[in-house]
Amino acid sequence: MQGQRGGVPVFKRALVKLSGEALLGTEPFGIHQPTVRQIAEDLIEAVELGVEIGVVVGGGNIFRGAQMHGMGLSRPAADSMGMLGTVMNVIALEAQLTSLGQTARAMSAVAMPSVVETYTRQQAMDHLSKGRIVLLAGGTGNPFFTTDTGGALRAAELECDVLLKATQVDGVYDSDPRKNPQAKRYDTVSFDEVIRKDLKVMDTAAFAVARDAKLPIAVFAIQERGSIAAVLKGEGRSTLVTG
């Protein structure tokens, strides 16, 4: 990714989209504490650059609604269970960040005020302006939408400069590099080219939100320590999707 170097962040406000699977670490299910700690440390490093950070977390490490649809559950019921999984994940991240001395606020699009704050744009913006990491659960608050779509929506409405899409690979490829060693990697790619070549960046609804909001998407590998801050400084190995 191209950008200003020398330790100065290219972006001032960013939303990090984490899959639930990013919290698995070496575990087959649930939350791997050392992995959560590493991610928390990376988020703190980003805040220390002076960047305002929001995080949307999936719930696939606990429950994936789309996979359970058709197994006796309606899609809305299954998706609601998946949303609850995202709340568990943000509570774990909030606790880890707090233990490391970083203020954070867990918020949910699904109201459960005795557990976490109910998401409102105004309150989230206030938290960001005060240097708090905002951890966003519950996706969009509606069934049939992925947490990728929730991430793009929150990034757009919180006026973020970039959506950081954390994945298991270091950017966008023309095919799966884990299966095809000859896969071509892109440093930058346009929204139109992603559509034309059917590159798998995000699901269609999420991608449409980002494109319409003219919100750049940086795709990077979350496993590498310090990767979030590196991407924010334009130094990380990632792919930038822009208009």
Q: What is the pLDDT of residues 162-198, one digit of tens each?
A: 999 999 999 999 998 989 999 999 999 999 999 899 8
Report yes or no on 6 lying in a domain: no
Among the listed residues 233, 228, 231, 230, the one whose alpha carbon sits nearest the alpha carbon of residue 241: 231
**Quick one: CA dihedral 147, 153, 156, 158, positive or negative?**
negative
Range of the structural domain that residue 60 is part of: 13-242
Report yes or no on 3 lying in a domain: no
- The model's confidence at residue 73, banded by pLDDT at 50, 70 and 90, is confident
Report yes or no on 7 lying in a domain: no
Report yes or no on 114 lying in a domain: yes
Tally the domains of the chain. 1
Residue 110 belongs to domain with CATH number: 3.40.1160.10
- The model's confidence at residue 14, banded by pLDDT at 50, 70 and 90, is very high
- The model's confidence at residue 70, banded by pLDDT at 50, 70 and 90, is low
Report yes or no on 68 lying in a domain: yes
- The model's confidence at residue 5, banded by pLDDT at 50, 70 and 90, is very low
Report yes or no on 60 lying in a domain: yes
The Cα 29–Cα 62 span in angstroms is: 6
Average pLDDT, the chain: 92
CA distances from 87 to 63, 77, 114, 156, 198 (A): 11, 16, 12, 21, 32
The Cα 184–Cα 175 span in angstroms is: 7
86 Cβ neighbours under 8 A, 6+ residues apart: 20, 57, 58, 59, 108, 137, 138, 139, 147
Which amino acid does the sequence have at 18?
L
Q: What confidence score (pLDDT) does residue 78 get?
A: 87
Report yes or no on 8 lying in a domain: no
